[in-house]
Amino acid sequence: MRSDIINLYKKADKKGFAIGAFNFSTNEILKGIFNAAVKMKAPVIVSMSEGERNFFGCNESVGVFRALRKKYPYVILHADHTKSFDELKKVVDAGYPSVHFDGSELDFNENIRQTRKAAEYAHMHNVFIEGELGGIKGGSTIHRESLKDVLTEDVFTNPVQAEGFVQLTGVDSLAISIGNAHGLWKEQKKLDFDRLKKVKQKTGAFLVLHGGSGISSHDFRKAIGLGVNKININTETRVAYAHGLLKALHKRTDYVPYHYLNDVVDAVSKIVEEKIIIFKSEKKI
């Protein structure tokens, strides 16, 4: 399936859109993402962090993904922020077609060494692999701190290092740090577009923007124009899920879950539909 995923990234790069990658940890969130993709006729990536996989079930997520692919073959299951070779091997062996190896907390040379090992294993099993250089701070929640406290120069992706990293590791795509951070923060995120432009020029790689929640539509469109091919969203769908669930429970008239959980699915779908339009990925299947 790796070649199909590469072709999708090539299409996004050529036609100037970004593939939306939306995390899920419950069936309702997954259904909301899936419904939006089908409605908008958009290719979509459904992602799971290690914590989300542990909650939902690694093998279970693969089983659900395969069932969804029979209905709509334009969905890709992706293992997000995999930080060890053992964990990467686990998801690859389980049947994930795409994986993110996150060695950003390692020093540069060790990140190259471990990412190269991960890429070799992934490619041996026909799996697409995303590497990471720099540091994407925060968690997928609402933060009370200021971005200024976490976005220091040492966490930003160095364009020169990025060129060597891509060449030496053989990754299929690269997650970069250019002012993005996981979660929603007190202030608006500001992306370093000059850095993004240099990374794209140096590497020619497919580029990934994590921490998409809270970035403005204008900045998304500009980042896509400069070569971002995949954008990750998690916190905004989590917030929509929580608010949708609380509202649905408040007006519940019975104890039949599917009578009120449809409202939760719709709340998630609304966010995903909005992002698909911003990412210009509608009608791109």
Of 221, 131, 113, the C-alpha closest to 176 is 131
- What pLDDT is attached to residue 39? 98
Which of the 8 DSSP states describes residue 142? B
- What pLDDT is attached to residue 140? 66
Q: Which residue shows structure tokens 């693969």?
A: 62
- What pLDDT is attached to residue 190? 81
- What pLDDT is attached to residue 20? 98
- For residue 91, the surrounding DSSP H or E stretch is helix 85-94
- What pLDDT is attached to residue 188? 67
Residue 137's contacts (CB-CB under 8 Å, 6 or more residues apart) are: 150, 151, 155, 181, 182
| Residue 176 zone, left/alpha/beta (φ > 0; ψ -120 to 50; rest) | beta
CA torsion, ordered 5, 7, 11, 17, to nearest 10 deg: 10
Residues 276 and 257: beta-carbon distance below 8 Å: no
> Known catalytic residues?
80
Q: Can you give the residue ranges of every domain in the chain?
A: 2-278
Full-prediction pTM beyond 0.75? yes
**Mean pLDDT for each 10-residue chunk of the chain (285 residues)?**
97 98 97 98 97 97 97 98 96 98 94 98 98 77 69 80 98 89 65 94 96 85 97 93 94 91 96 98 97
Residue 280 identity (one-letter amino acid): K
For 116, how many CA atoms within 13 A lie in the half-sphere containing its CB?
Answer: 12
User: What would be the CATH architecture of the domain defined by 2-278?
Assistant: Alpha-Beta Barrel (3.20)
- What pLDDT is attached to residue 122? 98
- For residue 113, the surrounding DSSP H or E stretch is helix 108-124
Q: Is 162 helix (H, G, I), strand (E, B) or coil?
A: helix
Write b or e for each residue in 17-54: b if 16 or more Cβ atoms lie within 10 A of its Cβ, otherwise e.
bbbbbbbbbbebbbbbbbbbbbebebbbbbbbbbebbe
Of 234, 208, 236, the C-alpha closest to 223 is 208
For 85-182, where are the E strands, in sequence order?
Answer: 98-101, 128-133, 173-176
Instruction: Output Rg (C-alpha) for the chain, integer angstroms.
Output: 18
CA torsion, ordered 107, 113, 115, 116, to nearest 10 deg: 160
- What pLDDT is attached to residue 183? 64
